[in-house]
Amino acid sequence: MEVTGKHSDDSQSSDNSLTHKLMSKTALFGLKLYVVIGICIGCLIAISLMLLFCFRCSRNLRKRRMRVKHTSGLIPMISKEIIEIKASDWTDKVKIDDTVKNEKVFGKEDADKVIGADKRSAESNVSGESQSSSATVSVEIPNIGWGKWYALRELEIATGVFSEENVIGEGGYGIVYRGVLPDSSVVAVKNLLNNKGQAAKEFKVEVEAIGKVKHKNLVSLIGYCAEGAQRMLVYEYVHNGNLEQWLHGDVGPISPLTWDVRLKIAIGTAKGIAYLHEGLEPKVVHRDIKSSNILLDEKWNPKISDFGLAKLLGSEANCVTTRIMGTFGYVAPEYACTGLLNEGSDVYSFGILLTEIISGRSPVDYARPAGEVKLVDWFKGMVASRRGQEVVDPLIEVQPSPRALKRVMLVCLRCIDLDANKRPKMGQVVHMLEADEFPFRSRLQHVNIVKVAMVHCACLCHVMAKNTGYPEKQQPSLPAQVQQLMTEFLFHSRLHIVIWIGQHADDLWD
């Protein structure tokens, strides 16, 4: 019993000694030891959070400064055979020149092909290439070094001998069929129209150019068929139709394309175009960016299709074409007037497409009043009259925030600038569309992290005081003590860096 009592007395004496030490004043501004310990722990937490904050700031700065980069790809250069034909075959050159002279203006024959008006649903499930072949020029291409070569008989079986019921799209450059291969995979087969003598050789150039291009926002070209005069292209099958159908079709009173979905489609499309412009050598100008050429999968991921009008640009920044190719309403004004083609032409078309996405209106609609026929004119007028909120498609159930809408409208205005030199690059467009909707909130969140750390330190000191025998009657209420300890924490620990971060968070974040 004596031993037990002695042990109990020693333990109580030890507790009292520890409590006395914690309650004793130190040389640091006369603060008690438990307060100093709490301040040290709080400083450690605050410094850790500050380092984390600076790390996140620097990482975001690096992300903002980085340009959109894509996996590098190389487009095969035009074969020597094609170069020799174009450069030295004077007879063919004369024939081609005569053909161009006879087609100075969009005639009835070219109305669908050149202007791009589709006979059906504007290539609803696949993209295409340029016209394939001619009855007078037949070039066998058994293997061009990529993809799979399909025999004509294989594709006939897959499409039910190109039956009418398997037609999923028809345009000026060919008919698209749904096909099922022997391995049960579904594909889209485009049977290119067979006319114009140079078509077979142009088919080869287009296939070599686009065939090896791989990007998640571009429709994949799986293979081809070249037998006799027949030229066919086999693509991956995209199951959810095209953007035009979802924007202008009968979708009911509420569109399934929410604002977030539309922004996702716009960003994905911009990334695909940026890859064509900036991720390939030579770069590719699509020349026919429009809603019917944007295919959608089940998760609303966009895939750019129909490279039938695509143009390869080498080291030169511009190219002058003799025929204006594209779809009325999407064609850049400088290209329509002068034939001057560069990446800016696609940027303008994307600007029209983006305006179409947010408004739900067609680029040209003759059913509307005179001042609203052309989407671009109506859109600029609405912005000028400060009626931007009325631009949004009324079928969108949840309207976007004013800040989000203004950001996208600004991108539209920059892309459709009449001065092609002032239009942004597609990589910049991606960056602008992906920018944080509320960046100032993120800044405040980082500043609030430091404030939370200060409150945490104050609460820690409060708990320590309670656990070290601080008289309960002398304990003020928690909110008051938290406020008092926060003041002592800031003053005595001299963490002016916390205040500095709060004052300069905007500069750090930007």
**Which residues participate in catalysis according to the annotation?**
288
DSSP characters for 426-450?
Answer: HHHHHHHHHS-S-HHHHHHHHHHHH
Reported as type and span, the H/E element at residue 311 is strand 311-313
CA distance linking residue 424 with residue 218, whole number of Å: 21
Q: Are 134 and 199 in contact (CB under 8 A)?
A: yes
Say how many CA atoms lie within 13 Å of 509 toward its Cβ. Answer: 17
Q: Which residues contact 287 (CB under 8 A, 6 or more apart)?
A: 309, 310, 311, 325, 326, 341, 345, 346
Other Cβ atoms within 10 Å of 107 Cβ, number: 10
Q: Are 357 and 243 in contact (CB under 8 A)?
A: yes
Q: Are 466 and 477 in contact (CB under 8 A)?
A: no
Residue identified by tokens 């390869």 is 312
Q: No. of H helices and E strands in the chain?
A: 17, 14
CA distance linking residue 195 with residue 192, whole number of Å: 9
Give the three-state DSSP class for 57: helix
Residue identified by tokens 């009324």 is 394
Where is the binding site, in residues?
190
Q: Which residues contact 193 (CB under 8 A, 6 or more apart)?
A: 131, 132, 172, 173, 174, 199
Where is the binding site for ATP, in residues?
190
Burial group, residue 286, by CB count within 10 angstroms (0-12, 13-18, 19+): buried
Q: Which residues contact 298 (CB under 8 A, 6 or more apart)?
A: 239, 240
Give the three-state DSSP class for 489: helix
